[in-house]
Amino acid sequence: MIRKLLPAGLFSLFAFFVYMDFGPSIELILVLPLALVAPLWEPAGYLSLTFLGFLLVYRSIGGFVGIFTLIFAIQYVESIYLAKRSAPAEHYYVLFAGTLLAVPIYYFAYLLSLYTPSFVNTALAAIFVVLLYVLFYLLVRR
Return the percentage of the chain with pLDDT > 70, whole number: 92
Residue 3 predicted with pLDDT over 80 = no
What pLDDT was estimated at residue 1?
59
What pLDDT was estimated at residue 142?
60
pLDDT per position as a tens digit, 19-70: 887 888 887 888 888 888 888 888 888 888 888 888 888 888 877 888 888 8
Give mean pLDDT, residues 86-109: 84
Give mean pLDDT, residues 122-140: 74
What pLDDT was estimated at residue 107?
82
Residue 79 predicted with pLDDT over 80 = yes
- For residue 58, the Cα-to-chain-centroid distance in whole angstroms is 17
Confidence of residue 120 (pLDDT cuts 50, 70, 90): low
